[in-house]
């Protein structure tokens, strides 16, 4: 099955070709992640505007997935929230950690690209999932040092366990050895694609929660004609999932509560 051709056929003028394409995309998504996340139901619901029978079948794919451990020192971390550091940012970091960490219980390092305040990566060290957090952003967020100090105090950790590099993510990543994971929350638009492709380039697993799906055809695996027919965010993330799988990765889909953020899908890739 060629999923890229199937995606193109989703916008075919012939109804039978479209139906066949829906089936193929569905089969492909199930084959890459049998627990296809409910997020994709939204995509499939759009399909129902065309073909109700298929949509009903596709929505059966929804399942609930595992929730991770409690956050240590949560109250102390929550007290960081103020007019500079929004509670939403804390909730996103906690929820992301809970969804992704059960899949990566023991790491030498986690690299947080487009890290902002840095909490997303630092949590992995505080919780004991990673020995080191490497936080990278092209500018140092005004909250970064404040968050770092709080995490080091709470976990009684040494200074070297959290490091910051002021770097553009288009520059080469620092060289690190051991078992690693790349993460990135809300790296806007094509920055997420850069994070995915850097991870693939280093054969590292990754977890990204994309946002700002408001561009067309910036990455060569985005097929612009589909964006005319379907919700752009869902269509782009499905194309990303297929791209990641074709690069030799297993893909796992998770989702944090949409009460925290509407941009809540997590794409997780693990080299096969
Ligand atoms: C929407 S914020 C997300 C911050 C953080 N991950 C979070 O969840 O709170 C996007 C971040 O990407 C950073 N950024 C934008 N372009 C970048 C680039 N080319 N290289 C590195 N960082 C970049 C910005 O400085 C900003 O901190």
Query: Does residue 177 form part of some domain?
Result: yes
Q: If you take atom 13 of ligand 1, which residue's CA is the nearest one?
A: 114
Is 98 inside any structural domain?
yes
Gap between the Cα atoms of 223 and 203, Å rounded: 25
139 CA → ligand 1 middle, Å: 8
Going from the Cα of 91 to the center of ligand 1, the distance in angstroms, rounded, reads: 17
Half-sphere exposure of 194 (CA within 13 A, CB side): 16
List the single range of 1-15, 55-69, 241-255 with lowest mean pLDDT.
55-69
CATH assignment of the domain containing 116 = 3.40.50.150
| Domain annotation covers residue 131 | yes
Q: Are 189 and 208 in contact (CB under 8 A)?
A: no
pLDDT given at position 217: 53
Question: Ligand 1 centre and the CA of 211: distance in Å?
Answer: 11
Task: Answer whether residue 27 is part of any domain.
Answer: no
Mutation probe of ligand 1 site: the residue of 116, 144, 262 with most atoms within 8 A of C-beta? 116
Write out the E strands in 62-199.
Answer: 107-113, 130-137, 162-166, 180-188
Domain span at residue 149 reads 74-221+255-271
On whether residue 175 sits in a domain, the answer given is: yes
Structural domain contains residue 238: no
**DSSP 3-state of 255:** strand
Better-scored residue on pLDDT, 232 or 269: 269
- Which ligand 1 atom minimizes the distance to the CA of 92? 8
Q: How far apart are CA 47 and CA 72, in angstroms?
A: 42
Residue bearing the CA closest to ligand 1, atom 27: 116
Count of domains observed in the chain: 1
Residue whose CA is at the smallest distance from ligand 1 atom 8: 185
Ligand 1 neighbours by CB, cut-off 6 Å: 89, 92, 114-117, 120, 137-139, 141, 168-170, 185-188, 191
Average pLDDT over residues 68-97: 94
CA of 117 from ligand 1 middle (Å) equals 9
Strands 249-255 and 265-271: antiparallel
Which positions ≥6 away from 39 have C-beta within 8 Å? Answer: 234, 237, 253, 255, 264, 265
Ordered strands of the 162-166 beta sheet: 162-166, 130-137, 107-113, 180-188, 206-211, 265-271, 249-255
Q: What is the pLDDT of residues 152-176, one digit of tens each?
A: 999 999 999 999 999 999 999 998 9
**Ligand 1 mean position, distance from CA 113 (Å):** 7
> Is residue 79 situated within a structural domain?
yes
Q: Give this prediction's pTM.
A: 0.85
Contact 265, 95 (CB under 8 A): no
Is 54 contained in some domain? no
In this prediction, residue 2 has a pLDDT band, given cuts at 50, 70 and 90, of confident
């Amino acid at each position: 099955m060629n999923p890229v051709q199937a995606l193109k056929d989703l916008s075919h003028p012939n109804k039978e070709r479209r139906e066949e394409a829906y089936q193929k995309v569905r089969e492909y998504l199930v084959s890459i992640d049998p627990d296809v996340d409910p997020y994709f139901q939204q995509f499939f619901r759009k399909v129902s505007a065309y073909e109700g029978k298929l949509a009903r079948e596709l929505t059966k794919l929804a399942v609930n997935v595992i929730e991770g451990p409690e956050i240590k020192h949560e109250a102390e971390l929550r007290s960081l929230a103020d007019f500079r550091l929004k509670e939403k940012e804390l909730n996103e970091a906690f929820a992301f950690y809970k969804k992704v960490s059960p899949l990566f219980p023991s790491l030498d390092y986690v690299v947080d690209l487009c890290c902002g305040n840095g909490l997303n990566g630092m949590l992995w060290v505080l919780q004991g999932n990673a020995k080191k957090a490497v936080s990278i952003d092209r500018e140092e967020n005004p909250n970064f040092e404040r968050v770092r100090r709080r995490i080091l105090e709470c976990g009684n950790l040494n200074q070297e366990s959290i490091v910051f590099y002021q770097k553009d993510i288009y520059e080469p990543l620092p060289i690190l050895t051991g078992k690693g994971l790349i993460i990135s929350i809300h790296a806007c638009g094509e920055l997420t694609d850069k994070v995915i492709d850097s991870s693939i380039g280093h054969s590292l697993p990754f977890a990204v929660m994309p946002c700002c799906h408001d561009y067309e055809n910036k990455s060569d695996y985005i097929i612009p004609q589909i964006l005319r027919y379907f919700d752009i965010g869902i269509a782009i993330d499905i194309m990303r999932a297929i791209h990641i799988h074709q690069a030799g990765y297993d893909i796992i889909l998770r989702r944090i509560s949409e009460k925290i953020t509407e941009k809540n899908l997590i794409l997780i890739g693990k080299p096969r």
